[in-house]
Structure 1
Amino acid sequence: MIEYRTPAEIEQMRPAGRFVAEVLTALRERADVGVNLLELDELAHQMITDRGAVSCYIDYHPSFGASPFGKVLCTSVNDAVLHGLPHDYVLADGDLVSLDFAVAVDGWVSDSAITVAVGVPRVQDLKLIATTEAALVAGIEAAQPGAKIGDISFAIARVASHAGYKINTDFGGHGVGRTMHGDPHVPNDGRRGRGLPLKPGLVIAIEPWFLETTDKIYTDADGWTLRSRDGSRGAHSEHTIAITPDGPLVLTAP
């Protein structure tokens, strides 16, 4: 079911967005050579506790997950691109790590993701990160009242195509509100002018993610982490936005 939020409710969602942005900023600063993925998860967990927030991940168990997630942060390294389960891995020079984080504050959820190049970055990785970020900006700019979901999807896909990346549509953006994942689905490829009309009060997460040389993925033995079929690297960018009469409002902006 698609739900629309009042202006007052959107204001109530702002603290969750600000907190998600704060945590991702801290994680970006911590993600460095020699840092264990479990340390990043611990940092996010401590910030959640200090804030009195509620993790959207730790008990999350959708049909595609092997078990409850058990951590508060997704850490997807190199050929992993989504749902990376934090484990005992120490970041090395040249690694690429995507950090995806969602919590509820006072009952309202926000969801956002960034990708960080660790140590000395590869040129190809910087291009991949820049493309997902540019696609996110394009998708947000297309999220105008009176437009359609397909306009967002088309804008994202055009950026990817111009950069030479293929697109997987198995996972994409989604509605956000009292829960992390709701309707509508926001694919990263679509036809302009098609799909759900964007009305004020709609709150969605827009999240382009691309792999360097493929659009095929598989699930790691941990039952969660999604990896590229050919071993190429992935990047992921995401914001939670609200459609307002004046245009898109980014709730998870730093």
Structure 2
Amino acid sequence: FLVFLLIYLLTLTGNLLILLLIFTDSHLHTPMYFFLGTLACLDMSYTSVTAPRMLYDFLRRRRAISIPACITQIYFFICFGVSETSVLAVMSYDRYIAICRPLHYMQIMSWKSCVQIVSGMLVFSVLYSLMHTLFLNKLTFCRSDTLQSLFCDLPQLLQISCSDTFINVLLIFLSGILFQLGIVVVTFFPYITIITTVLKIPSKTMRSKAFSTCSSHLTVVFIFYSTIFFNYFFLNTNNSTEDKVASVFYAILDPFLNPLIYSLRNQELKMALTRALQKL
């Protein structure tokens, strides 16, 4: 309980600090940090879907949850998870425009465009999550098996249903292939051009600065996607230990690591933090 409480509080503190710096420091009022602030909001929401209930269950002897509450948790978990993958993809596109087409950057990534992109992603995430949960509500759960996870997750919940889950499983794989594959392409493909362009920059300082912002984003993307794919596509769900480790990592540790990665590898955030401390 104490370990997860500390991780949860540090996650909220780290992401709130990033948001505070972005709001108060005029040097950070750029599209890149607008998306980083959006990511920080999603990280707090993402981990708040599971962590408080998990902490509550650690203090109880009988750790039970009703089916409606479980499906509700899955709805918000998928919604914020899909939003996060979408923001990470947009951040790749933002870095591509900033490095490969710098003269057109503010024209393409205007504030109106940024708000429209984030709004569109949130609407899509709501509808995407609603699709899965509507089909979940049609299932009958007549078994009292223990979920092999520390929170309600879609694959584990389907295993304790006594209804035919073929449509649900088909939806997971089709949406995973169509949506996630598309998101992965949008996230990683721009880096081919980015790396080629950065290597042509004559100044070592500019190359280092460009790689610094990109490496932070790539690290976050790699950690997030590797744990997601491991849990949903490669994991043997009969192994409760592996289930719990994987689910805890992408639901609790990812949002905790994100602000650390960005704050440690981003010079502009470090400078903003220094300026904020000097004002105090």
Q: TM-score, normalised by structure 2?
A: 0.28
With CA pairs under 8 Å and 6+ residues apart, which has the higher RCO, 1 or 2? 2
Instruction: Point out the structure with the larger strand share.
Output: 1
**Which has the larger Rg?**
2
Identify the structure with the greater helix proportion. 2
